[in-house]
C-alpha cells in the first residue's frame, strides 16, 4: 500500500495564478464527475484531468495553501459554482394560515348557521305581523327592532373572523420562531478549511468550490469533494445509497466524497467540487421538488445498525422544524394519524375527542328538544296550521334553535387546548435557550418532564472535559506529579515527545489563552490535548516536530475508533529501510500488546504477563482509584514491510514508553444537580468507555454511587455475559434483573449503551414504563440517542452525527442544563393541566347552562356571541396566561408522572366539579329568580328579535366574573391553599386577567345588540364582582375537603394502558398510532392516502419520463434519501407528498408500477 497522498506541486496559492481567466472546468463538468463512483471516477479523473492535482489547478487552488481568501475571488466562485446553501421551503403566507384556520369544523358550522340567519333576517314575508303564526311575532315592539335581526348573524361572523385571525397569528408566530431556531442551528454549524495556509473554521454556508476542507471522524460532509489525502478514511454513505456498510475511501480506489454522508473513521483533506443545489444532496432535493412550491420533504436517512432504524434529520438546509410546525396544526384539525411520540399529545388528543363526542351529543339533544317543544306547542297545544306565509317565520325559529345547538357544541369542544400546548411548548423552548438547551424537537421538551432515568456520559458532561496529565510512570518510576525533564532519560524523553506529537490528530492543538491570565485553550480531541500539554510541561514543543513531518509524510494511520480504542501512526524511516510505528490508547488494551518496556536507562527489557499484572496492581489501579484515566504510549520498529491490513499482527509486540494518568475534574455544580435528580425520582446512570475504577471514583464524587448502597458497577464485558443467552442474543428477562440496580457501566461500547437504553425503555418491570434520557457526543452514540425518549447531544464536544440524532443540544455540555430541561418539561405538563382545569370548568358549566336553559326557557341564557366571547377569546387569553407560568424549584420535589398518569388527577376533578357546582347554583338562581333579587324585568321567554334584557346581561356578566376569579384558582393544581403565590413573577398572567376584565366592561356597557347586552348600573356591577370573588372563597372551601375521601371521582385523560403497550409499542419500530385520531378520520385518511399514492406515482413517472434527473447515479441513490420512515407520510392536503422508498426505484418501470403497501402503510 502506498502513501495515500497525491503528489502536489509547490504551494501555488490562487494569487499567483491569473485572476481574470475563467476556471478551467465548468460546473456541469464537475457535477457530471461527482455522479461517478469508485473505479469509474478514478479512470475519468485520470483520463480528463490527469489526477486530483489537475482538478485543483483548474480550480485555481493549492492542495497545501488552500484558497487565498481574496473577496473578489470568492465572489467569482459564488457566481461560477453557486453558494453552499439549499434554499428552504417558502414559509406559509399569513393568508394560507388563515385559510387553514378556517377549516375548523365547528367554525364552519357556525359560519353556515350565521349566514342562514343573516339571509332570513333580510327576508320579511307578509305574514310576519299577523297572529296566525303563533308566538313567532308576539312582542316585536317596532319595525326598528325587527330590522335588527341581522345583528346576531353578523356578530357571529365577526367573532369567527377574530378567532381565525388569532389562530392564524399564533401559527404564524410559531413558524417564525422555528425558522429563527433553525437559522441559529445553521449558523452554529462550522467546518474546517485551509485558506492562505491557515487552518480556519468557517460557517458551512461560506464554503466555496475550490476550498480545501479538512475532514475527520464524526463530521457530516457539507459539500461534495474529491479526496486529496486520507488516513484510514471510512464513510457512511447510507443517507444516499441506503447501504449500511462503511465505504473505505482512498485515492486509488474511491476518492469521491458526497455531501450529507458521515465520516465514521479516519481523517483527510478534500477539494470541494460541488456545493448547494449542485451537490448530491442538493440534486436530490431539487428532484423531489423540495426547494420550491411543493411541500418540502426533509432529506432524511434510514439506516439499520444493530437492527435499529436510525432516523436523522439534517441540521443544515431544509426546514428542520417542518415536522414540529405541522404537529400542533394537525392537532387542531385532527385529520391525520402520525407517529405519536409525545406522551402528552396522545393524552390530550384522546381527551379532546372524548369531550368533543360528549359535546356533539349534548348539542344534538338540545336542538331536538327545542324543535320538538316548539312544534308540539305551536301545532299541538295551540292547534295552528302550517301555512305558506308563516314558513319563513318558522324557519327563522329553527335557525335560532340550530344556532343555540351549535353554541353548545362550540362551548363543549376545547379548542383552547391545542393553542395552550403550542404556547406552552413554544414559550418553554424559547426560555430553554437561555438555560443552554437548544430544543430540536418540540415534544422532547415535555417528554423530559416525565423522565425517570438519565444515562449520562462521563467525559465533558459530568466532568469539565479539561484534561491534564497529573501522574506518569516512566522508566520504572511512578511519578505522582509530572516529572522534571532532567529526571527522564534523554532518549526516552525524545521518543515520548515524538510519539505524542506525531501520533495525534494534527488538528489538535494547544492555543494561547483568549484572556490575559486565563487557561490555554484546548482545540480538538481533549485527551490528545492533555498529552500535548505533557510535552509542554516537559519544556518541549510539538509544533517543530509536526512541521518537520507534515501529514503527507505519514505512511499509514490507524485512527481511533470505539472498537480499537487506540490510535497508531506509521512512519517510513528516513535513513534506512523499515518503518516505525507510534501507538497510544487505553492502558489495559495497549499493555496487553506490549512485549517490552523501556527501563530507567532507556533500554527495552522484557515485559511478561506477571510484570503486566504487577503494573496493573501497582500503577494503573491506584491511578484509576484516584479517578484518573490511564493512557499508555508505546512504539514498534518494523524492519520489513508487513501486511498493513492485518491489524492484529501489526498492533502487537509493542514496546511501552510510558503510562500517564489524566485527570478530568468533576464539574463543581454536578453533585448538587445529581442530588436534585435523585430527589425528583430520576435515576442517574453513568455509561463510559473508561476503566471501571476510574468510573467508580468519578461516580462516587458525583454522588451517583452512595457509600453503603448495593448498586452495581459493571464493565461492558460482564454486562453482556449477564444479559445474553448462549446464542449471544439479548434477553429482556435477563436485562430486567440487571438494570434496576445498575448505576455505572464502564468500558462500554456504543452497542452496550444502545442495548441498555432499549432494555430500560422496553422493560415491563415496575408499575410504569420508564422514560429514558441519554446524553452522547460521539458518532457511535447515534443509535442510543435515537432510541432514547430524549437524546441530548453536546453542543461543544458533540460530532455532527450525534447532534443530528438528538432531540436537544446542550450548548454548554453541562449536566446541570439537563436538570433545567426536566424542570421545564414538568412545567409544561403542569401548565397544560392548569389550563385544562380552568377550561373544563367553563365547558361543564356553559354546556349545562345552555342545555337546561334552552330546554326550560326555549332560549339559551348565554347567547351565541357571548358564548363565543367566553369560549374562544377567554380561552385564548387564559391559555396564554396559564401556559406561561415560569417553573419553580419545587417541581423537582415530586416524582415523575410517568406515561400512564392521567392528565386530570382526582384533585383536579374535585376542583372542576366543585367550582362547577358553585357556578351552576349561582347561574340558575339568577336565571329563575334574578328578576326578583335585582328588582328588574324578567328576561325569560323573550320573543324573536327582542332587545337585550338587564336580566340576561347580569347572568352573562356574573358568569364571566366567576371565570375570571376561577382563573386565579386554576394556578394551583395540587391542592395548594395559596393561589396567589408567585403571581407577580408572571406579568403575562396579571395583564391577561386585567385585560379580560377591561374588555368585559366594554362589552357589557357598550356591546349593545350584537352582544345581547345592556348597560348595567354601578350597584349591579359590584354585585357581579362580589359573586365572582366568591369563587376564591369557595376554592378555599374545596381545597379543605381531603381528596382521598372522594373515591367516587374518576380520573381522565389516561395514557395508553400497559397491556396495549406491550402489544403495540414494544414491537421494535412499530409506530404508535393514536386510536382516537384513527377513529375520527379513518375514511378520510384512506382517501388522502390513495390520492397521495397516485400523485407520488405520477410525480415519479413524470420525473423519469422527462429525464429531469441528470445521470442514473443520482437516481440510484434517490430512494434512501427520503426513506426516513420508509413510508409515505400523509398530511392534511394532498400536496404533502411523501415518497415511499419502495415506489422510488432506479428504473421507471418499477416507479410506474403499483405501490408497495408494506413500506408505505406503517407510518400513515
Residue 789 falls in the annotated catalytic set: no
Count CB-CB contacts under 10 A for residue 1083: 8
Q: Which residue has the cell 500503577?
A: 619
Alpha helices in 60-196 (DSSP H): 71-81, 94-102, 105-121, 143-147, 150-188
What residue has cell string 457509600? Answer: 707
Taking Cα atoms as reference points, which of 205, 344, 223, 251 lies closest to residue 50? 251
Task: State the residue for C-alpha cell 408566530.
Answer: 173
The distance between the two most distant Cα atoms of the chain, rounded to a whole number of Å, is 125
Q: Of the residues 457, 690, 752, 777, which is catalytic? A: 457
Q: Do the Cβ atoms of 1038 and 910 come closer than 8 Å? A: yes
Rounded-to-integer distance, Cα 1033 and Cα 1024, Å? 15
- Give dist(CA 31, CA 35) in Å, integer: 7
Other CB atoms within 10 Å distance of the CB of residue 541: 12
Contacts of 463 (CB under 8 A, 6+ apart): 664, 665, 666, 667, 670, 698
Alpha helices in 609-654 (DSSP H): 609-615, 621-625, 647-650
Closest Cα to residue 221, out of 83, 316, 313, 299?
316
Closest Cα partner for 353 from 332, 338, 369, 373?
A: 332
Neighbouring C-beta atoms of residue 294, cutoff 10 Å: 14
Query: How many C-alpha atoms does 214 have within 13 Å on its Cβ side?
Result: 21
Rounded Cα distance, 381 and 118, in Å: 30
Long-range contacts of 377-380 (CB under 8 A, 24+ apart): 377/134, 378/134, 378/135
Q: What's the rounded Cα separation, in Å, for the pair 74 and 115?
A: 61
User: Using an 8 Å Cβ cutoff, are 561 and 265 in contact?
Assistant: yes
Q: What is the Cα–Cα distance from 156 to 867, expressed in whole angstroms? A: 10
Assess contact for 1002 and 916: CB atoms under 8 A. no
Q: 784-800 burial, b for 16+ CB within 10 Å, e for fewer?
A: bbbbbbbbbbbbebbbb
Kindly report the number of other CB atoms within 10 A of residue 690's CB atom: 24
Q: What is the end-to-end Cα distance of the chain in Å, rounded?
A: 51
Q: Identify whether the C-beta of residue 435 lies closer than 8 Å to the C-beta of residue 820.
A: yes
* Cβ atoms within 10 Å, residue 224: 28
CA distance 303 to 974: 45
Q: Residue 364 is placed in which grid cell?
A: 344534538
Ordered DSSP codes for 251-285: TTTB-EE-TT-EEEEEEEEEEEEE-GGGSHHHHHH
Burial class (CB in 10 A: 0-12, 13-18, 19+), 360: middle
Task: Name beta bridge partners: 597.
Answer: 605, 656
Helix, strand, coil abundance in the chain, percent, nearest 5: 50, 15, 35
Whole-angstrom distance, CA of residue 88 vs CA of residue 82: 16
Closest CA relative to residue 401, chosen from 127, 147, 136, 158:
136
Task: Measure the CA dihedral 732/738/741/747, to 10°.
Answer: -120
> If phi over 0 gives left and psi between -120 and 50 gives alpha, with beta otherwise, what is residue 1053?
left
Catalytic positions, please?
457
Amino acid at each position: 500500500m502506498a502513501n495515500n497522498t497525491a503528489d502536489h506541486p509547490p504551494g501555488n496559492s490562487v494569487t499567483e495564478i491569473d485572476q481574470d481567466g475563467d476556471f478551467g472546468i465548468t460546473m456541469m463538468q464537475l457535477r457530471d464527475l461527482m455522479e461517478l463512483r469508485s473505479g469509474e471516477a478514478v479512470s475519468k479523473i485520470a483520463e480528463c484531468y490527469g489526477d486530483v492535482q489537475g482538478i485543483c489547478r483548474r480550480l485555481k487552488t493549492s492542495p497545501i495553501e488552500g484558497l487565498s481568501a481574496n473577496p473578489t475571488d470568492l465572489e467569482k466562485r459564488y457566481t461560477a459554482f453557486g453558494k453552499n446553501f439549499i434554499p428552504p421551503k417558502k414559509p406559509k403566507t399569513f393568508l394560507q394560515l388563515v385559510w387553514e384556520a378556517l377549516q375548523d369544523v365547528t367554525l364552519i358550522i357556525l359560519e353556515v348557521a350565521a349566514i342562514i340567519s343573516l339571509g332570513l333576517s333580510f327576508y320579511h314575508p307578509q305574514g310576519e305581523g299577523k297572529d296566525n303564526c303563533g308566538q313567532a311575532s308576539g312582542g316585536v315592539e317596532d319595525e326598528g327592532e325587527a330590522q335588527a335581526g341581522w345583528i346576531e348573524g353578523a356578530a357571529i361572523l365577526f367573532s369567527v373572523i377574530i378567532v381565525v385571525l388569532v389562530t392564524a397569528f399564533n401559527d404564524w408566530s410559531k413558524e417564525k420562531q422555528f425558522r429563527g431556531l433553525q437559522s441559529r442551528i445553521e449558523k452554529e454549524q462550522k467546518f474546517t478549511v485551509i485558506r492562505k495556509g491557515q487552518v480556519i473554521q468557517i460557517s458551512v454556508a461560506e464554503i466555496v468550490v475550490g476550498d480545501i476542507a479538512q475532514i475527520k471522524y464524526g463530521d457530516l460532509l457539507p459539500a461534495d469533494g474529491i479526496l486529496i489525502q486520507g488516513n484510514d478514511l471510512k464513510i457512511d454513505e447510507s443517507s444516499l445509497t441506503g447501504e449500511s456498510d462503511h465505504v473505505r475511501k482512498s485515492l486509488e480506489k474511491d476518492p469521491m466524497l458526497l455531501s450529507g454522508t458521515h465520516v465514521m473513521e479516519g481523517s483527510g483533506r478534500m477539494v470541494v467540487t460541488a456545493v448547494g443545489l449542485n451537490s448530491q444532496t442538493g440534486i436530490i432535493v431539487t428532484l423531489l421538488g423540495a426547494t420550491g412550491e411543493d411541500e418540502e420533504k426533509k432529506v432524511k436517512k434510514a439506516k439499520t445498525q444493530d437492527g435499529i432504524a436510525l432516523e436523522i434529520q439534517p441540521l443544515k438546509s431544509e426546514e428542520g422544524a417542518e415536522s414540529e410546525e405541522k404537529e400542533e396544526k394537525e392537532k387542531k384539525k385532527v385529520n391525520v394519524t402520525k407517529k405519536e411520540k409525545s406522551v402528552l399529545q396522545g393524552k390530550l388528543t384522546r381527551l379532546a375527542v372524548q369531550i368533543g363526542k360528549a359535546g356533539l351529543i349534548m348539542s344534538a339533544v338540545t336542538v331536538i328538544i327545542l324543535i320538538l317543544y316548539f312544534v308540539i306547542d305551536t301545532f299541538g297545544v295551540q292547534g295552528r296550521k302550517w301555512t305558506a306565509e308563516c314558513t319563513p317565520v318558522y324557519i327563522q325559529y329553527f335557525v335560532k334553535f340550530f344556532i343555540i345547538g351549535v353554541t353548545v357544541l362550540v362551548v363543549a369542544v376545547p379548542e383552547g387546548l391545542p393553542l395552550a400546548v403550542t404556547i406552552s411548548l413554544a414559550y418553554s423552548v424559547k426560555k430553554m435557550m437561555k438555560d443552554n438547551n437548544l430544543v430540536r424537537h418540540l415534544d422532547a421538551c415535555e417528554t423530559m418532564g416525565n423522565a425517570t432515568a438519565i444515562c449520562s456520559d462521563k467525559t465533558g458532561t459530568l466532568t469539565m472535559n479539561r484534561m491534564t496529565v497529573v501522574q506518569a510512570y516512566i522508566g520504572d518510576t511512578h511519578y505522582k506529579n509530572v516529572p522534571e525533564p532532567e529526571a527522564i532519560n534523554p532518549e526516552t524523553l525524545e521518543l515520548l515527545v515524538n510519539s505524542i506529537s506525531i501520533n495525534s490528530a494534527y488538528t489538535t492543538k494547544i492555543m494561547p489563552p483568549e484572556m490575559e491570565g486565563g487557561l490555554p485553550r484546548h482545540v480538538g480531541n481533549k485527551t490528545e490535548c492533555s498529552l500535548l500539554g505533557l510535552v509542554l510541561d516537559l519544556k518541549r514543543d510539538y509544533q517543530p516536530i509536526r512541521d518537520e513531518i507534515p501529514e503527507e509524510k505519514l505512511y499509514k494511520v490507524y485512527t481511533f475508533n470505539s472498537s480499537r480504542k487506540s490510535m497508531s501512526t506509521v512512519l517510513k524511516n528516513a535513513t534506512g529501510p523499515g518503518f516505525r510505528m507510534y501507538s497510544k490508547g487505553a492502558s489495559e488494551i495497549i499493555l496487553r500488546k506490549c512485549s517490552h518496556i523501556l527501563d530507567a536507562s532507556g533500554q527495552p527489557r522484557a515485559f511478561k504477563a506477571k510484570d503486566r499484572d504487577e503494573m496493573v496492581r501497582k500503577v494503573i489501579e491506584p491511578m484509576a482509584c484516584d479517578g484518573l484515566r490511564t493512557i499508555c504510549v508505546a512504539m514498534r520498529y518494523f524492519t520489513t514491510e508487513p501486511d498493513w491490513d492485518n491489524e492484529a499482527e501489526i498492533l502487537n509486540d509493542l514496546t511501552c514508553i510510558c503510562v500517564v494518568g489524566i485527570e478530568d475534574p468533576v464539574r463543581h455544580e454536578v453533585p448538587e444537580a445529581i442530588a436534585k435528580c435523585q430527589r425528583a425520582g430520576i435515576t442517574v446512570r453513568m455509561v463510559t468507555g473508561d476503566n471501571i475504577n476510574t468510573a467508580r471514583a468519578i461516580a462516587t464524587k458525583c454522588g451517583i454511587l452512595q457509600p453503603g448502597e448495593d448498586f452495581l458497577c459493571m464493565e461492558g464485558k460482564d454486562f453482556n455475559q449477564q444479559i445474553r443467552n448462549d446464542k449471544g442474543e439479548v434477553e429482556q428477562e435477563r436485562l430486567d434483573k440487571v438494570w434496576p440496580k445498575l448505576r455505572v457501566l464502564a468500558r462500554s461500547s456504543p452497542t452496550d449503551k444502545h442495548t441498555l437504553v432499549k432494555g430500560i425503555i422496553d422493560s415491563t418491570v415496575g408499575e410504569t414504563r420508564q422514560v429514558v434520557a441519554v446524553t452522547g457526543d460521539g458518532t457511535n452514540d447515534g443509535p442510543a440517542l435515537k432510541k432514547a425518549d430524549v437524546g441530548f447531544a453536546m453542543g461543544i464536544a458533540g460530532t455532527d452525527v450525534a447532534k443530528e440524532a438528538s432531540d436537544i443540544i446542550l450548548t454548554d455540555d453541562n449536566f446541570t442544563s439537563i436538570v433545567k430541561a426536566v424542570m421545564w418539561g414538568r412545567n409544561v405538563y403542569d401548565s397544560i393541566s392548569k389550563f385544562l382545569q380552568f377550561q373544563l370548568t367553563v365547558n361543564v358549566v356553559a354546556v349545562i347552562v345552555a342545555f337546561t336553559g334552552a330546554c326550560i326557557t326555549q332560549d339559551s341564557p348565554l347567547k351565541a356571541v357571548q358564548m363565543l366571547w367566553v369560549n374562544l377569546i377567554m380561552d385564548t387569553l387564559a391559555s396564554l396566561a396559564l401556559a406561561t407560568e415560569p417553573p419553580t424549584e419545587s417541581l423537582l420535589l415530586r416524582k415523575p408522572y410517568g406515561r400512564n398518569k392521567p392528565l386530570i388527577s382526582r384533585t383536579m376533578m374535585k376542583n372542576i366539579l366543585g367550582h362547577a357546582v358553585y357556578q351552576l347554583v349561582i347561574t340558575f338562581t339568577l336565571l329563575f329568580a334574578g328578576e326578583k333579587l335585582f328588582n328588574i324585568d324578567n328576561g325569560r321567554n323573550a320573543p324573536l328579535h327582542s332587545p337585550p334584557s338587564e336580566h340576561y346581561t347580569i347572568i352573562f356578566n356574573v358568569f364571566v366574573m366567576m371565570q375570571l376569579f376561577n382563573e386565579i384558582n386554576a394556578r394551583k393544581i395540587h391542592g395548594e391553599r395559596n393561589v396567589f403565590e408567585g403571581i407577580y413573577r408572571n406579568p403575562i398572567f396579571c395583564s391577561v386577567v386585567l385585560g379580560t376584565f377591561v374588555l368585559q366592561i366594554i362589552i357589557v356597557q357598550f356591546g349593545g345588540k350584537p352582544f345581547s347586552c345592556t348597560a348595567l348600573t354601578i350597584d349591579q356591577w359590584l354585585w357581579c364582582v362580589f359573586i365572582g370573588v366568591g369563587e376564591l372563597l369557595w376554592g378555599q372551601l374545596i381545597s379543605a375537603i381531603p381528596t382521598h375521601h372522594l373515591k367516587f371521582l374518576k380520573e381522565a385523560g389516561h395514557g395508553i394502558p400497559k397491556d396495549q403497550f406491550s402489544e403495540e409499542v414494544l414491537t421494535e419500530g412499530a409506530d404508535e398510532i393514536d386510536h382516537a385520531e384513527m377513529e375520527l378520520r379513518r375514511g378520510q385518511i384512506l382517501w388522502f392516502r390513495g390520492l397521495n399514492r397516485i400523485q407520488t406515482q405520477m410525480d415519479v413517472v413524470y420525473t423519469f419520463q422527462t429525464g429531469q434527473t441528470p445521470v442514473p447515479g443520482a437516481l440510484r441513490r434517490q430512494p434512501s434519501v427520503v426513506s426516513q420512515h420508509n413510508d409515505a407520510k400523509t398530511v392534511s392536503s394532498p400536496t404533502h407528498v411523501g415518497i415511499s422508498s419502495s415506489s422510488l426505484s432506479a428504473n421507471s418501470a418499477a416507479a410506474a408500477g403499483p405501490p408497495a403497501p408494506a413500506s408505505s402503510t406503517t407510518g400513515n
